[in-house]
Chains A and B, each alone.
Chain A
């Protein structure tokens, strides 16, 4: 009776896989003092204590490991698409790709197994490895759109393009979709009000970009008082301005 109870845990203990892992305990050493030479056909001379003093040449534990190649099982943001063979640092590969099951080791079988099928190729979900990151970053910022306080203007895509460039985002004019309502100025009622525009990356991914209008005057005495870190403040949406229309590609 007792025996039967203890069988399973014992078996469990036994079945615990003894993974043969390479233990990196190799140290390359060099003798500090060379042992004396000996004559041919004679016994080597006895080495003294000082001949056992070593200097460290290399510790293989802290040596930089070469990159590892793996096959991606799915699309991974910032890495690549399904079926791609990518070369990354081994720790990144192990912790972020192999352990979560996003990739498999680069073997011919795995490459064949995880290659993209025709159906998957036609249904493109991601245009590039970094497009999603750009979308995330665009959606996390509040873009300051600085317009003139004295001259009349109507908001156009190139205004957003120039504002994005000032904020460190490079973008083509075709990618920007403004809300269909006209945004005109100068109008101090619109100061510090939000509106949204859509950025389409590689004609595929779409990001909703939050923009905030500010008025700026060329004459320093006419300028509005400086607001520190306006993007942390709460603000209201621009009246009568809705979201930009969705492009036909996403509605399909």
Chain B
């Protein structure tokens, strides 16, 4: 009796535990899914094909990935200042030359007894910190024309077309060296297609012809005269001289380092007078500095003087010619006034330094 009771109790207990029941396969939990369901699931699975990538030559690999690049803004201020009169350059800071000294160094290497290229062009490399007013914003690439006081053979063909109504101005513009000067009749020629605007690199206009010139806006597009790019104004002769003799330069950001900009421009030839070259450099630097963003810190970071075929690059101090830091308090108008007053004194200082 006792044994029967015991066995019944165990049965009752066993039924209560779900685990044991599952082991006995009493329910349909583990039964196969319908055939259709399985096929559907199989179709859903996307086969991931692993593409085999063969060897890619190093020069054809994507350069933007996984390459650590050195900062292009070179800072050697941690290095020592040389004290000896003969020293190994690589252990010390770069020497900073004055423009006259740097030109003298280039003249030495280009002397007839060495490279024999005394008329080599003198190039200026201006390195810029292109960071804008915010850390994530950068100054756009820009292309400008710097007016220089001493002209030289820049080797470019620059054709200038001038639009004006006044007879005196037409004569004035012709004397200044414009390739083509005209008024309303010139506009008619262009609209009829007898004259091609694309033959001319620069378009200058006097304000008195502006209402008629609007007809050509579509043809000129970005070249349409405007006072901001200084192609529209009353002083035609000055503008023509500027565009025929000025230094055309463009600042380009580095492909991989957005805050590094570089300007390469020629300011003259080595056989020119040192003071003339220095003034050209000064005007170029001042023109570059006019593009400075409204932020703290330097815009022009380094200026190097080069002269092919020599590979020498000589560092000069640009802050003799332009202010190093941005003055926050002074308004733009005030700045311009101050610049006009400073210029003569600066020129005097430069002359004194050269002497």
Interface residues of A (CB under 8 A from B): 127-128, 130-131, 133-134, 137-138, 146-148, 150-154, 158-159, 161-162, 165-166, 168-172, 174-175, 199-202, 216, 218
Contacts and interface: CB of A to CB of B under 8 A. Distances in A.
A128 B92 CA distance: 14
B323 interface: no
Q: Report, as a range, how many residues of chain B touch the other chain.
A: 20 to 34
Given A147-B114, A148-B115, A218-B116, A169 B86 contact: yes
A137 B105 CA distance: 23
Contact of B91 (A130, A138, A159, A161): A130
B100 to A, nearest CB: 16
B197 to A, nearest CB: 40
B86 A153 contact: no
Contacts of B113: 147-148, 151-154, 159
Given A161-B108, A162-B108, A166-B109, A172 B114 contact: no
Nearest to A185: B113
Interface in B94-150: 95, 105, 108-109, 112-117
A21 B109 CA distance: 60
Nearest to B309: A218
Contacts of A137: 88
14 contacts: A134-B88, A138-B86, A147-B113, A150-B116, A165-B312, A169-B86, A170-B86, A170-B87, A171-B87, A172-B85, A175-B86, A200-B86, A201-B84, A216-B114
Contacts of A162: 105, 108-109, 114
Interface of B: 82-91, 95, 105, 108-109, 112-117, 310-312
Contacts of B117: 218
A153 to B, nearest CB: 3
B103 to A, nearest CB: 13
Contacts of A127: 84
Contact of A172 (B86, B108, B115): B86
B115 A218 contact: yes
Contact of A170 (B89, B114, B115, B310): B89
A200 B88 CA distance: 14
Given A130-B91, A162-B108, A216 B115 contact: yes
Contact of B116 (A148, A165, A172): A148
Contacts of A158: 108
Contacts of A218: 115-117
Contacts of B109: 162, 166
A147 to B, nearest CB: 6
A78 to B, nearest CB: 10
Contacts of B83: 128
Q: Which 7 A-B pairs have the closest CB atoms?
A: A153-B113, A171-B86, A168-B89, A151-B112, A162-B108, A201-B86, A218-B116
A169 B116 CA distance: 23
Nearest to A151: B112
B114 A159 contact: yes
Nearest to A162: B108
A201 B310 CA distance: 27
Contact of A169 (B87, B112, B311): B87
A114 to B, nearest CB: 23
Contacts of B89: 168-170
Contacts of B310: 166
A14 B113 CA distance: 77
A218 B117 CA distance: 7
A152 B115 CA distance: 12
B86 A199 contact: yes
Contacts of A154: 113
A37 B87 CA distance: 67
Contacts of B312: 165-166
Given A148-B114, A158-B108, 17 more contacts: A128-B83, A130-B87, A134-B86, A134-B87, A137-B88, A146-B114, A148-B116, A150-B116, A151-B112, A153-B112, A162-B108, A168-B89, A169-B86, A170-B87, A171-B87, A199-B86, A202-B86
A22 B188 CA distance: 94
B108 A130 contact: no
A174 B86 CA distance: 10
A120 to B, nearest CB: 21
A168 B86 CA distance: 11
Contacts of B82: 170
Contacts of A153: 112-114
A128 B116 contact: no
Kindly name the residue among A134, A162, A166 whose own CB sees the greatest number of chain B CB atoms within 10 A. Answer: A162
A226 to B, nearest CB: 14
A175 B86 CA distance: 8
Contact of A165 (B85, B90, B105, B115): B105
B85 A202 contact: yes
